[in-house]
Amino acid sequence: MPASTTSTTLFDLRRQQATDAEAPLAARMRPRTLDEFIGQEHIVGPGRLLRRAIQADQLSSVIFWGPPGSGKTTLARIIANTTRAHFIAINAVLAGVKDIRDAVAVAQERRGLHGQKTILFVDEVHRFNKAQQDALLPWVENGTVILIGATTENPYFEVNKALVSRSRIFQLRSLTEDDLRAVARQALADPVRGYGALGVLLDDDALDHLVSVANGDARSVLNALELAVETTQPGAEAAPDTERPLIHITRDIAAESIQRRAVLYDKDGDAHFDTISAFIKSLRGSDADAALYWMAKMVYAGEDPRFIFRRMLIFAGEDVGLADPHALQVVVAAAQAFDYVGLPEGRFHLATACLYLATAPKSNSAFAFFDALGVVEGEREAEAPDHLKDASRDAEDMGHGKGYLYPHAYRDHWVAQQYLPTSLQGRVFYQPGSLGYERQIRDDVARRREAQLAAMLEGEEAAPASGRDTWGGDRTYQGPPASNLWLQRTLSNLGEQLARLRERVMALAQIERHSLVLDLNAGNGLLTWEAVRRAPVGGVWALAATAREAQALQQMATQLDQAERPVILTGAVNDLPALVATVDAATRFDVIVGRSALTAQPDKTAVFHSLLAFLRPGGRLALAQTVPAATQRIYALLDRSGLPGDLAQAWQAAEEAIYADADDALVNWQAEDLRHMALAAGLYEVSVETVAETSAVRITPALLAHWFAESEDGGRPSYMQRLAQQMDGDALAYVRALIERQLLGQTVSWGSVVAFVRGGRGPD
């Protein structure tokens, strides 16, 4: 038996020696110690954790993750050569659960008989299926085996999470060109395992070519070097320092030995996802050169061009969007052309689509859909407003469709009306980008949205629930109570009126790009946001009358870059000097604009004088001021011919008396008076232009009740209380009954007058 054992051992030894001698150069040159190992300094350099663990033979379970030829298996072999532990190696492609059990049995025996640890090296560990990984897990967990796994795939995705959590992950990188040169020179210098005993002369440009094409893979450069040496006939000349004939490896020979660059690319692995990610991010960053490079890498590695087209189609919608609506058409056309043409000519269509997307303006505003989807998913289902509902079935009984305004019947084919559910009014999903086509529509979208918002807030401020009456801040009727707010808006052109007002004020103001602008009585920001657009390199200040208005302006300002946001002050026009001083008392403005900023001011001349002080020399003032004295008379809306006696005349006289009160600063002035007040304050080149406006107003029960309500807390008297100063109770009852009979539920034309005031400060 001993003789037989000895004979078998010698036979195995000779067979192993023969196998080693005939092994490929890459296998023969595999480093045996850390001193021979080249590259990966970030994990095996002096003082590094892995190096210390190997040298101290205190290794715990590890997984080596890196591209082919980076040294994963080599590190495992070095550990096998240096450790006192028993070393078992298996390949996950060939091994099964039985092999794992056999390895575990050996490990248990070694520990029990000799107290020896066992290291189990599993090459291509990601190839283990779930059952195989589960079979290995408990033995790694209890320390029966120390696992060394090697994988080219991301272990966080491809390896059992439990195994990953019990192992330390070391990521190996592709070898640098200097590393590959050192590997090649090491092979040429080693007389036993390499070609040191032969007379090999490798030209520098030949080595450079091998290194370049190997693309970080040591195995690839050694295989190419082996092919070059083994297939090159020795010349007549002797090699230096040896009597052997010279084997001269030129660049041409090297090129024949390694003709195609090795590209790391696995269609189902990390390289696939990393490369397509780099491609998309290069497109998003408008780097055409990088995008072409990453796409070329995918095509070179054999990626399906249809996959690349699919990703570009997604990109056209996600990252270009409305900044260039033609982008989607171009990519679709290129994809269809590719289907007709195929490879290799179809590469032109790939390149065309790639370059178009890379150079196109970018916008991700389409993500607005997902914001809307999040609202739908997270909030209670909102019902469509009645005027948007289908009117073909139950319009008469339910009022569905009633009040809908057909946009094509209005100027510019647009009219302000409610489209969102009532609970979502004011909610913004879509934010147009600032590039390309979207830049052209951005201001239009913003202006229409602001006009709608302004119309909505006009009505809210006029609602009884707000504590103010429907005569509004300037005591002219501005809208219906909140309960009928959006029904009213669908029947009015308030949003359109506000848009016209804004454009007229801006035309008078002549704001320039560098202007510093002050918006008086900013309210909902109708003028503020337009000023921000027109003075991008200047600045805008906004005076909000209430904290609520200021907060709303600040919330809207968050959509702008920090540098573009207006300075928001809170207070009355009379407080302006103190408010400006809190920021910078020396501030003076090029332009001051405002809407209904003078209404509640008893001394309007003093206000003009105060504003003059805040204008720079040559500065301009442009105000839009509703004239309360010229507002719609309610009596004029009715047919009063059936009223008894002189009640019709009494009613008319009583209502006109409201606007003839010389002691009421709200109504004791006309548009022309504003010109005299401005001139008296020192403004020059003052002009006043009046514009008559008409709104469609629906007379609702809530509005009627408000007209005839009792004012509370000493507030401004209601319409009924004003009439009561001139008429008795019976007459008032008759008037109310007539209004209810003729107007309730009807839509009437409500007239108003707006005065546009322009003036300036002369040069000092």
Asked whether the predicted pLDDT for residue 473 surpasses 50, the reply is: no
In the chain, what percentage of residues exceed pLDDT 90?
18
Task: Indicate whether 160 and 61 sit together in one domain.
Answer: yes
Instruction: Respond yes or no on whether the N-terminal peptide bond of residue 344 is cis (omega within 30° of 0).
Output: yes
Is residue 189's pLDDT more than 90?
no
405 vs 638, more confident: 638
- Which of 231, 257, 283 is the last residue in one of the domains? 257
- Structural domain includes residue 149: yes
Same domain, yes or no: 102 and 209? no
118-123 and 86-91 as β-strands: parallel, antiparallel, unpaired?
parallel
Does a structural domain hold residue 550?
no
Cα-based angle 169, 171, 176 (whole degrees, multiple of 5): 165
* Same domain membership, residue 82 and residue 47: yes
Q: Pick the most confident of 474-478, 484-488, 489-493, 619-623.
A: 619-623
Please indicate, yes or no, if residue 413 is contained in any of the structural domains: no
pLDDT value, residue 518: 95
Same domain, 53 and 116: yes
Answer yes or no: do 49 and 160 share one domain. Answer: yes
- Evaluate whether residue 737 is within a structural domain: yes
Do residues 165 and 191 both lie within one domain? no
HEC assignment per residue over 278-306: HHHHHHHCCCHHHHHHHHHHHHHCCCCHH
Same domain, 44 and 167: yes
Residues 6+ positions from 93 with CB-CB distance below 8 Å: 124, 127
Question: Which pLDDT belongs to residue 535?
Answer: 86
Q: Could you tell me if residue 210 is inside a domain?
A: yes
How much is the average pLDDT of 362-384?
Answer: 75
Residues 44 and 166 in one domain: yes
What is the predicted pLDDT for the residue at 94?
A: 85
Q: Are 761 and 616 contacting, i.e. CB atoms less than 8 angstroms apart?
A: yes
Output the CA angle 639-641-645, nearest 5 degrees. Answer: 135
Residue at 203 is within a domain: yes
Whole domain around residue 296: which residue ranges? 270-362
Q: Which of 39, 47, 49 is nearest to 74 (CA)?
A: 39
Quote the pLDDT of residue 558. Answer: 81
- Look at the chain and report how many structural domains it folds into: 4
- Is the confidence at residue 7, as pLDDT, over 80? no
Q: Confidence band (pLDDT; 50, 70, 90) for 452?
A: low
Tens of pLDDT, residue by residue over 611-657, are 999 999 999 999 999 999 898 899 899 888 878 878 888 899 988 88
Are residue 154 and residue 182 in the same domain, yes or no? no
Which has the minimum average pLDDT: 238-242, 531-535, 662-666, 750-754? 238-242
Tell me what pLDDT residue 2 has. 37
Q: Which residues pair with 621 in a beta bridge?
A: 592, 759
Q: Is residue 147 part of a domain?
A: yes
Q: Are 290 and 278 in contact (CB under 8 A)?
A: yes
Residue 239: CATH number of its domain: 1.10.8.60
Q: What is the pLDDT of residue 469?
A: 35
> Can you give the pLDDT at residue 399?
59
Mean pLDDT of 556-564: 78
45 and 167 fall within a common domain: yes
- The pLDDT > 70 percentage for the chain reads 80
Given 203, 231, 257, the domain boundary residue is 257
Question: For residue 569, is it left (φ>0), alpha (ψ between -120 and 50) or beta?
Answer: beta
* CATH number for position 149: 3.40.50.300
Q: How many Å apart are CA 268 and CA 303, to the nearest integer? A: 11
Please, what is the average pLDDT of the chain?
80
Same domain, 206 and 292: no
Region 118-134 average pLDDT: 87
pLDDT at 660 over 80: yes
Taking the C-alpha atoms of residue 182 and residue 178, their distance in angstroms, rounded to an integer, is 6
Res 269: pLDDT: 53
Residue 492 falls inside a structural domain: no
Q: How many CB atoms are located within 10 Å of the residue 629 CB? A: 19
Which of 120-129, 194-203, 268-277, 370-379: highest mean pLDDT? 120-129
Return the ∠ at Cα 318 (arms to 315 and 322), rounded to 5°. Answer: 110
Residue 674: what pLDDT?
93
For the chain, the first-to-last Cα distance in angstroms comes to 121
Q: pTM of this prediction?
A: 0.46
pLDDT at 266 over 60: no
Determine the pLDDT at residue 579: 92
pLDDT tens for each residue of 699-723: 888 788 888 887 655 667 888 888 8
746 closest CA partner among 705, 701, 694, 692: 701
pLDDT at 483: 33
Q: Quick check: 331 pLDDT over 90?
A: yes
Q: What is the pLDDT of residue 600?
A: 76
Give the angle subtended at the CA of 29 by the CAs of 26 and 31, to the nearest 5°.
Answer: 120
Separation CA 539–CA 567 (nearest Å): 8
Last residue within a domain, chosen from 305, 330, 362? 362
Least confident of 57-66, 177-186, 229-238: 229-238
The pLDDT of 548-552, averaged and rounded, is: 86
Report, as an integer, the average pLDDT of 497-504.
85
Instruction: Based on the fold, state whether residues 208 and 308 are members of the same structural domain.
Output: no
Dist CA 225 CA 230 (whole Å): 9
What pLDDT, on the 0 to 100 scale, is given for residue 261? Answer: 52
